[in-house]
Amino acid sequence: MNFTNRLKKLREKLIELNLDAILISSNENRMYFSGFRGSAGYLWITNTDAILATDFRYTEQAKVEAPNYQIIRIISGSSWLKDAVTASNALRVGIEDHDLTLAGYNSIKAQLSDIAIKPKLVSTGFTCNQLRAIKDSQEIDQLIQAINFSDQAIEIVGAKLKPGITEREISWELEKTMRELGADGLSFNTIVASGPNAAKAHHKPSERKLEAGDGVVIDMGALYQGYCSDITRTFVIGKASPEFRKIFDIVLSAQETAEATAKAGMTGAEIDYLARQVIDAAGYENEFGHSLGHGIGIAVHELPGVGPNSINRIENGMVFSIEPGIYIEGWGGVRIEDLVLMENDCPRVLTKAHKRDLVEI
Amino acid sequence: MNFTNRLKKLREKLIELNLDAILISSNENRMYFSGFRGSAGYLWITNTDAILATDFRYTEQAKVEAPNYQIIRIISGSSWLKDAVTASNALRVGIEDHDLTLAGYNSIKAQLSDIAIKPKLVSTGFTCNQLRAIKDSQEIDQLIQAINFSDQAIEIVGAKLKPGITEREISWELEKTMRELGADGLSFNTIVASGPNAAKAHHKPSERKLEAGDGVVIDMGALYQGYCSDITRTFVIGKASPEFRKIFDIVLSAQETAEATAKAGMTGAEIDYLARQVIDAAGYENEFGHSLGHGIGIAVHELPGVGPNSINRIENGMVFSIEPGIYIEGWGGVRIEDLVLMENDCPRVLTKAHKRDLVEI
């Protein structure tokens, strides 16, 4: 039912853009509109047709996963695209210019070169991605399941942190725990940043061993049924220094302020500012060098944007992260991140893992 | 030293193609020519310059990993590319059309639009990928380490196979074992195909439980320092049927024939035929529906091609798979795969895991 509805919205968009058809090539949009999770293939969608063309590796899987689509097996020298264009008399065909390679584009042009009336290929930019920003009920269920895996793993592994364990070991424990709980994989490479390493927002887990008094930023996510979770928690190994407590409390206050006061209809920039003003007011305006958050779903970073320059409006049904941080070169950092669903005009916090209780270990 | 040599060969190629510069965008080639393993960025290479431009997440990492390069941090609205083009008076600039998206290409054109003499952007196809086909000593060491992880894991987990374990459980055991041995990750999603599922060459591990008498095809690989391994073994749970023994022996014979008789200077198609003729002669010419092998390195599938239509010559220094198979719908399949290095005109088998001893369990 959800796929029927997604196709319906896409077809409305085709009419709005005056397109006779769209050729979808990106993994995420192919999955979103068809249910097919293979790593290669195209969707050809017109007002009446829905074709999924893929290679021999995936045709059986495609039949099972995308029952609303006519499945075509692409073989070398196949004219499926030309046939589809001809059959539908398509004159304006949308393409995903942010996904299609230049070589892929030239190949499509060549395949269509001997059609009597060649269709115009129209770049659709992020049109399909925009349709993914508002989640349907099935997607919210899938996101909640992915979130549960990372929530559980961060609590289980967080409780075991102690001096002597390396960042890499922690990262692997987290991954192993999520997988054994039932996650399909990671939604992105886990960040475990301890002590001074926590000053780097995108630190890669190293052989550094935890030391007493370290702050440890863990940023991770699970993948489940094609959907991503994303959580950050900051731990302390042993007793927190007064400076750590102070910075932790500012970040937590910024994070909870945004969760408590964001409203549907605000822009991403307005929501970013809810948290940023707390950090600015505490005197750390130069130490929060990234956006407050990002949309999440099939991709770990997707629309809507939630940063200082995000002019998009946050609507009911959107799921996004709220993750302020403070980073101080040579000292370390603190970041706290939840995923929220905008629902009945207010954020509903989907992430359930403890925030404050876990600080002291 | 290896990176200096790789750059030298690329610069010779620029001269050959009459290019003043090349803009490298693909992850694999960026890593190959610079050592940088971040997931975003460009290399700008001329006869004299070597620039690595990447965003704030990776500039520190880039300085460490790519000491031969000038590191530029890309910021919003940055004119680094225009500056580089202008500084080198580049009139013909190579681009990777198989990697660059259409939107990326249009963005580059726009960035260069107000240069007095606009450079011509020239698609270089797989030129850079071709340079990767012959491995240097450092790469061979890295490949051997990756291969050791998958060899050990398939022997450890293979010895534990028994009725009742699911394909998914086996897949996870294999991954866990490789990771705990020291692998950085998987080079591709593990295939565990048991009983009739083994008829599908690209089967995804399912909840099917192993049964006595099952054949089980396991195809997997480790990732280590950016390099991929790839191995396939076929096991039997308990006593093999006469049909299984027969088919296993044909596939093994085809595989070992190719390993024993391949010579440097043959085309990929000629090497493919060494194994294929054994399978054809046994009457299974329609049951081996894929290529004999593929090159491997930073990408799990890369040049050279080793299939019925591969006209490329296999040279000393190339590393590729030899993996014949027989697949029978409703019954199952057998595939056996090693990686070999063409060395002193003959294949040196890099994969060390047992083939035959493991059949009966």
- Residue span(s) of chain A under CATH 3.40.350.10 come to 2-131
Ramachandran quadrant class, A65 (left: phi over 0; alpha: psi -120 to 50; beta: rest): alpha
Relative to beta strand A338-343, strand B70-73 is unpaired
Q: Are B187 and B222 in contact (CB under 8 A)?
A: yes
List, in order, residues 6 or more apart from B357 with CB less than 8 Å away: none
Q: pLDDT at position A78, please?
A: 84
**In this model, does residue A359 exceed pLDDT 80?**
no
Q: pLDDT at position B81, please?
A: 97
Which amino acid, A42?
A: Y
- Give pLDDT tens digits for A242-254: 999 999 999 999 9
Q: pLDDT at position B180, please?
A: 95
Chain B residue nearest residue A107, CA to CA: B98
**At B60, is the pLDDT very low, low, confident or very high (cuts 50, 70, 90)?**
confident
Q: What is the dihedral of CA B164, A58, B188, B256, to 10 degrees?
A: 80
List, in order, residues 6 or more apart from A242 with CB less than 8 Å away: none
Q: pLDDT at position B266, please?
A: 98
Quote the minimal CA–CA distance from A252 to chain B in Å.
24
List, in order, residues 6 or more apart from A115 with CB less than 8 Å away: A82, A85, A86
- Please state the rounded mean pLDDT for residues B263-285: 98
**Predicted ipTM of the assembly:** 0.90
Q: pLDDT at position B56, please?
A: 84
The share of chain A scoring above pLDDT 90, in percent, equals 92
Our measurement of the distance from residue A197's CA atom to the centroid of its chain's CA atoms, rounded to an integer in Å, reads 25
Could you say which of A61, A95, A102 has the minimum Cβ distance to residue B100? A102
**In this model, does residue A235 exceed pLDDT 70?**
yes
- Residue span(s) of chain B under CATH 3.90.230.10 come to 137-349
Q: pLDDT at position A57, please?
A: 84
Shortest CA distance to A93 belongs to which of A70, A59, A117? A117
Say how many residues make up chain A. Answer: 361
Residues 253-312 of B with CB under 8 A from A: 289
Triad B1, B6, B12: Cα angle to 5°: 130
Q: pLDDT at position A169, please?
A: 96
According to DSSP, residue A7 is labeled H
Chain B residue nearest residue A183, CA to CA: B172
A123 part of contact set with chain B, CB < 8 Å: yes
Shortest CA distance to A184 belongs to which of B162, B182, B204? B204
- Give pLDDT tens digits for B104-136: 999 999 999 999 889 999 999 999 999 999 999
**At B222, is the pLDDT very low, low, confident or very high (cuts 50, 70, 90)?**
very high
A102 part of contact set with chain B, CB < 8 Å: yes
**In this model, does residue B57 exceed pLDDT 90?**
no
SS3 A65: helix
**At A357, is the pLDDT very low, low, confident or very high (cuts 50, 70, 90)?**
low
Q: Are A361 and A235 in contact (CB under 8 A)?
A: yes
Q: pLDDT at position A360, please?
A: 60
Name every chain A residue with its beta carbon within 8 A of the beta carbon of B289.
56
- Give pLDDT tens digits for A39-67: 999 999 999 999 999 998 888 889 999 99
List, in order, residues 6 or more apart from B270 with CB less than 8 Å away: none
**At B360, is the pLDDT very low, low, confident or very high (cuts 50, 70, 90)?**
low
Tell me the two tokens of residue B201: 């060459």
**At B77, is the pLDDT very low, low, confident or very high (cuts 50, 70, 90)?**
confident
pTM of structure: 0.92
| Alpha-carbon span B170 to A306, nearest angstrom | 41
Could you say which of B102, B172, B175 has the minimum Cβ distance to residue A123? B102
Q: Which of B11-25, B201-215, B347-361 has the highest mean pLDDT?
A: B11-25
Q: Are B210 and B164 in contact (CB under 8 A)?
A: yes
**In this model, does residue B289 exceed pLDDT 80?**
yes
**In this model, does residue B341 exceed pLDDT 70?**
yes
A316 part of contact set with chain B, CB < 8 Å: no
Residue from A101, A107, A108, A181 to probe the interface with B (highest B Cβ count within 10 Å): A101
Tell which wins on pLDDT, B121 or A200.
B121
User: In this complex, do A179 and B172 lie within 8 Å of one another by their Cβ atoms?
Assistant: yes
| Alpha-carbon span A55 to A58, nearest angstrom | 6
**In this model, does residue A77 exceed pLDDT 90?**
no
The matching CATH number, chosen from 3.90.220.20, 3.40.350.10, 3.40.1400.10, 3.20.20.60, for B2-132 is 3.40.350.10
Q: Are B341 and B318 in contact (CB under 8 A)?
A: yes
User: In this complex, do B103 and A101 lie within 8 Å of one another by their Cβ atoms?
Assistant: no
CATH superfamily label, B137-349: Creatinase/methionine aminopeptidase superfamily (3.90.230.10)
Average pLDDT, chain B: 96
Q: Are B184 and B146 in contact (CB under 8 A)?
A: no
**In this model, does residue A1 exceed pLDDT 70?**
no
Name every chain A residue with its beta carbon within 8 A of the beta carbon of B180.
172
- Residue span(s) of chain B under CATH 3.40.350.10 come to 2-132
Phi, psi (deg, nearest 5) at residue B265: 100, -20
- Give pLDDT tens digits for B293-333: 999 999 999 999 999 999 999 999 999 999 999 999 999 99
Average pLDDT, chain A: 96
| Alpha-carbon span A100 to A89, nearest angstrom | 22
- Please state the rounded mean pLDDT for residues A219-242: 96
Q: Distances from the Cα of B15 to the Cαs of B22, B93, B120, in angstroms?
A: 11, 12, 16
Relative to beta strand B21-24, strand A346-349 is unpaired
The CATH code for residues A2-131 is: 3.40.350.10
Sign of CA dihedral B251, B221, B183, A149: negative
Which amino acid, B95?
A: I
A37 part of contact set with chain B, CB < 8 Å: no
